[in-house]
Homo-oligomer: A and B are copies of this chain.
Amino acid sequence: MPPRLLLVNGPNLNQLGSREPDIYGRETLADIEKQCGAAAKKLGLALDCFQSNHEGELVDAIQKAGGNCAGIILNAGAYTHTSIAIMDALLAVSIPVIEVHMSNIFRREEFRHESYVSKAAKGVICGFGSRSYLLAIEAMADLARSK
């Protein structure tokens, strides 16, 4: 059975594609998850996807992944900047975590420059739109291989 990855998306990312397509593009989160699933499969990995607007559900999902996944790819959205609870959950699992953002958060408002997720992540990829997720899957595959 192939190693499983968990792709986790945080608050408001369920809205992708359905609004302001001129800015965020027309891809929905479902489209991105599908592309990621295909990319993972090519690299010999299975991909589970989860999205929630609830901090607590994200913590639950990360805890569960700790026991049965080979890695977590996480775009925690706004919780990136405020959630020590998610950071603690990530620090407690012993599998690699990659932090992803579609936009370059360092060119946005000051309060988006600080990330609690970064303190628990192996690496960070941001600024490449939906392509950020695909690069993270490649990075995760590489980490899996090098173990």
Point out residues on A near B: beta carbons under 8 Å. 10-12, 14-15, 19-20, 52-57, 59-60, 63, 66, 77-79, 81-85, 87-89, 92, 94, 104, 106-107, 111-115, 118-119, 121-128, 131-132, 135, 138-139, 142-143
Contacts and interface: CB of A to CB of B under 8 A. Distances in A.
B59 A57 contact: no
Contacts of A88: 11-12, 77-78
Given A125-B135, A131-B139, A59 B11 contact: yes
Given A11-B56, A53-B63, A85-B53, A119 B138 contact: no
A25 B29 CA distance: 37
Contact of A126 (B54, B92, B123): B123
Nearest to A131: B142
Given A55-B56, A56-B52, A85 B124 contact: no
B106 A118 contact: yes
B127 A126 contact: no
